[in-house]
Structures are given as structure tokens and as C-alpha cells.
Amino acid sequence: MRKTTTPQHINTTTHLMKANFKILDTTLRDGSYAINFNFTASDTAIVSKKLEEAGIPYIEIGHGVGFNGSEKHGKALESDEAYLKAAAETLTTAKFGMFCIPGIARLSDIDMAADYDMGFVRVGTNVTQAELSQPFIEKAKKKGMLVAANFMKSYGLSPKEFAKKVKLSESYGADTVYVVDSAGGMFPKDVRAYYEAIREVTDISLGFHGHNNLMLGNANTLEAIEVGYDIVDTSLQGMGRSAGNACTETLVAALLKLGYDLDLDYRALLDIGHTYIAPLYSSNGRHPLDITAGYADFHTSYMRMIHKYSAKYSVDPVILMQEISKIDKVDVSEEKLNELASSLEREENLYIGKFNFSRYFGEEQG
């Protein structure tokens, strides 16, 4: 059993609290957005092995958009199979997995992953389109994988309506259902509200994936743990799409300070993030469009369209994001966005280049 390495300067309670949750580190998948999907197979092998040695039980790898993402959503440096092979040949105790979006991924991708003994798969759909996940969940279960249904843009439904979708995923055979704060705009009270609504109808395992657009990624993840979610997502250095995710190292430090008994090597996690990830990743301050995404519950996979129509009509992309989110937070229609942008006040001297749209890679819409 790995001993928790608690820094001497961190005060913990006399009686350590049992950790009834697991951490899933998604640096090598969600984090790949921040470097235009440029992790190599060697990077995957080295970082995933280090994470395993530090005690992380679930490690997500591959293209940020998931299986077959390179086809239309930003080409990764390596193939899905190369990432699978790297993890399969390296890991011995931690489970590795990939993301899977129906309409981008193919059922044959599940077969390929099974050939490499992949331990888990996360099937991601918009919260309003959970029905699309059924064939992928059923196939992955037949292959013996742990399966999570990730409800992207969870905020698109009220907690009560969300709970109905959870029952649907449960009927397909999902082991876990994820509340996903895709835009990073939730508050801790929202994390709790979704949990309570779900627990009124089912005791299925629950996960939480939080982005950091309003700098609440760690706070929301801590709330998820305290409320009773079973799995929480983090990434080293907080590396991830848009403003990034809850940060593995700082979350673990906070949990230790709160008095949780973690089977994790805290110092090793600090070293992995500092040595292998920090040199690749610099947030360069807080970006206006990331902050606006959190404020408006806007998913940054639509940023290409925001760029296109804010430039076409010389309208502030901040305003355009806010206004389109009032119409639909889940599925942004290009036709509706064009119509909306054309109706907004034009700014003749607006310099669109200052928003640096080139920092947004990959579109998670099939």
C-alpha cells in the first residue's frame, strides 16, 4: 500500500478522513487541446507510467476529441492505436482509457481498444442527446470495459431533467454517469444540486468533470468530493481545453490539507507536473474569451464560428458569445449565429486579431 506523502507544513486533522472517491487524470487527453494534440506515444508512455507510480488509478489518453478525432477535428501527432499501444505496453496497475463521441468515433474503435485491453471508455454526448450513446455503451460493456456516460454541457438541462437522462444511460449499462461543466461556469451549489437530483432516482456511480473558466474548477471538484461523487477529473498543471481543468497537484494538496487519507504520492505528482507538463503549457494569463465562456455557459468547440461571424460583421466576440448562449447553450446553429451576428451593433474599428482565436483547437461537434 502506497503511503500518502504529506508535506510537513500541511496540517491535517488528527483522524484522517477516508477517501471514498477516485481521481481520473485527463492530462494526456483533455490536456492535449492546449498543445494542438501534439503528445507523442513516448510522452504518453512516460507520463502515464509516472502517474501510475504516483497512485493515480485512471489515466485518460489520446486525441482531445477522442477516437477518430484526427479525421476532422485537428490532427493528432500520433494515431489512436499508437497511443493505445504506448499505454498498454507501459501500465500494469492503473486503468487507461479514451474518450468517445458518437458521430466522430466508430463502433470499430471500441473493438480496436479492446485488442489492447483498454480498461475504461467515456462516451460523451451533449446532455440532450444521450440516446446516441447506447450502441457504444453496449459494445464497450460486452468487451468488458468500465463505461462512463459523459453528459457534455450538463448545464443545458435542469438537475431534475438531467436525472431522467441518467436513468436512460443506466438502462444502457453505463457504470458511471458524469456531470460535465464543459464551459466552466458552474458554482459549487450547482454541483450539489445535480447530485441531489440524481440521488432521488438512482444510486449509480457519479463522476464530475470541471473546467476552470471562472477559476472554480478546483472548488467545484472539492464540492463534488464532499457531496459524494465517486470519480473526479483533474489534469496536471490544470492543462486542458479553453481555461483548463481542475488541477491535479493543487486539488491533492487541498485534500491533504483538509485531512483526507489519500493513497497518492503528493511529491511525485508535483514533480511530474513541473518536469513534464509545465514546460509545454503556459496559460499566459486569463483570456477574455475563456472567461466569457464560463460566464455565458458557452462551449469553446464553437469558437471557429464565433471567429468567422464576429469578423464578418465586426461585432465583439464577447457579445456574440453571450447573446448566442441566451438562445441555446447546447447546440449552436451556424445559421442562427449568422443571423444573430448580422443584427448586433457593428464596431468599425474592432481588431479581431487581439482575441487570438488560433489558441482554440478541435471542434467536438460531429
For residue range 242-278, list pLDDT tens digits in order: 999 999 999 999 999 999 999 999 999 999 999 999 9
What pLDDT score was predicted for residue 285?
65
Let me know: does 278 contact 237? Beta carbons within 8 Å. yes
For residue range 299-339, list pLDDT tens digits in order: 988 999 999 999 999 999 999 999 999 999 999 999 999 99
Q: What is the largest CA-CA distance in the chain?
A: 64
Question: Assign residue 246 a region: left if phi > 0, alpha if psi is -120 to 50, beta otherwise?
Answer: beta
Q: Give the model's confidence band at 15: pLDDT under 50 very low, under 70 low, under 90 confident, else very high.
A: low
For residue range 184-235, list pLDDT tens digits in order: 999 999 999 999 999 999 999 999 999 999 999 999 999 999 999 999 999 9
What pLDDT score was predicted for residue 349?
87
Whether pLDDT at 175 is above 80: yes
CATH number for the domain running over 17-280: 3.20.20.70
Kindly give the pairing relationship between strand 120-126 and strand 146-152. Answer: parallel
Q: Where are the domains of the chain?
A: 17-280, 288-359
Does the predicted TM-score (pTM) go above 0.75?
Answer: yes
Whether pLDDT at 132 is above 80: yes
For residue range 22-37, list pLDDT tens digits in order: 999 999 999 999 999 9
Q: Would you identify the CATH topology of the domain 288-359?
A: Helicase, Ruva Protein; domain 3 (1.10.8)
Read off the C-alpha cell for 218. 478546483
For residue range 56-87, list pLDDT tens digits in order: 999 999 999 999 999 989 999 999 999 999 99
Classify 20 as helix, strand or coil: coil
Read off the C-alpha cell for 12. 491535517
For the residues of 148-205, what is the DSSP string, one character each?
EEEEETGGGS-HHHHHHHHHHHHHHT-SEEEEEETTS---HHHHHHHHHHHHTT---E
Share of the chain above pLDDT 90, in %: 83
Whether pLDDT at 10 is above 60: no
What pLDDT score was predicted for residue 283?
60
Q: How far apart are CA 35 and CA 44, in angstroms?
A: 14
At residue 235's C-alpha, the angle toward residues 233 and 239, to 5°, is: 130
Distances (CA, A) of 173 to 108, 113, 197, 333: 19, 18, 20, 32
Q: Give the model's confidence band at 13: pLDDT under 50 very low, under 70 low, under 90 confident, else very high.
A: very low
